Amino acid sequence: MGFDFEIVKEYIPYFLRGTGYTIGLSLVGIFLGTIIGLFIGLGKMQSNKWLALPFVWYINFFRGTPLFVQILLIHFGVVPYFIGETNAVAAAIIALSLNAGAYIAEIFRAGIQSIERGQMEASRSLGLTHGQAMRYVILPQAVKRMIPPLGNEFIVLIKESSIAAIIAAPELMYWSKAMQGQYYRVWEPYLTAAVIYLVLTLTLSFVLNRIERRLTIG
């Protein structure tokens, strides 16, 4: 079966639009996921195990169930419950953010715990509160160590955003499916989508490597 470039040309505007949505969903997802992850990660690290339990189970739920299922639950259950009707883009953002938050929480926990305990004790002995020590001493050092895994999570999120096509969020895979449904062709829509995803992930990997190298030198 040949590869028809003409139908790819026809769908280029849609692929570009879908790529924009893919990047947008991933950026918002990683931003909100980082905020959620920091909160959940700090919550899990509490010394009181009963207070930490809800945070532990948040991580267990979102890491232990498929993102596909989470998107469907949020799209058909959570979003309509709050606004009376569903919205594919909102559901995709919420699902990606909550899912990323669970993984980023573990990244924050590991990063913070990798800093020697003596630094917290030294900060407290200088008169800093626990919050001040975390903000000014521990987190700035931990963030450097978190950059590589956070970058990997962003790359994963770009690829996982393709699942949002199942609820008709107009990202890249949505238009690939639309093209496949219109022309009953497989190679053109899905190979084109694969190439675009590859370009996105390779570009992001290159940028992250440069950032990591600069931080290492610094």
- Cite the DSSP H helix spans in the chain: 5-44, 49-64, 67-73, 79-83, 88-113, 117-125, 130-133, 139-160, 172-183, 187-217
For residue 1, what pLDDT band results from cuts at 50, 70 and 90?
low
Decide: 7 and 179 in contact? Cβ < 8 Å: yes
Rounded distance between C-alpha atoms, residue 184 and residue 195, angstroms? 20
Report pLDDT digits (tens) over 114-140. Answer: 888 788 778 878 788 877 888 778 887
Q: In terms of C-beta density within 10 A (0-12 exposed, 13-18 middle, 19 or more buried), how is residue 168 classed?
A: middle
Structure confidence by residue, pLDDT tens digits, 165-187 = 999 999 999 999 999 999 999 99
DSSP line for 71-122:
HHHIIIIIHHHHHSS--HHHHHHHHHHHHHHHHHHHHHHHHHHTS-HHHHHH
Looking at residue 216, its amino acid is T
pLDDT band at 218 (very low <50, low <70, confident <90, very high): low
Tell me the two tokens of residue 161.
């955003």
Query: Is pLDDT at 192 greater than 90 in this prediction?
Result: yes
Q: Which domains does the chain have, with CATH numbers?
A: 5-217 (1.10.3720.10)
pLDDT in tens, 29-78: 999 999 999 999 989 988 888 999 999 999 999 999 999 999 999 999 99
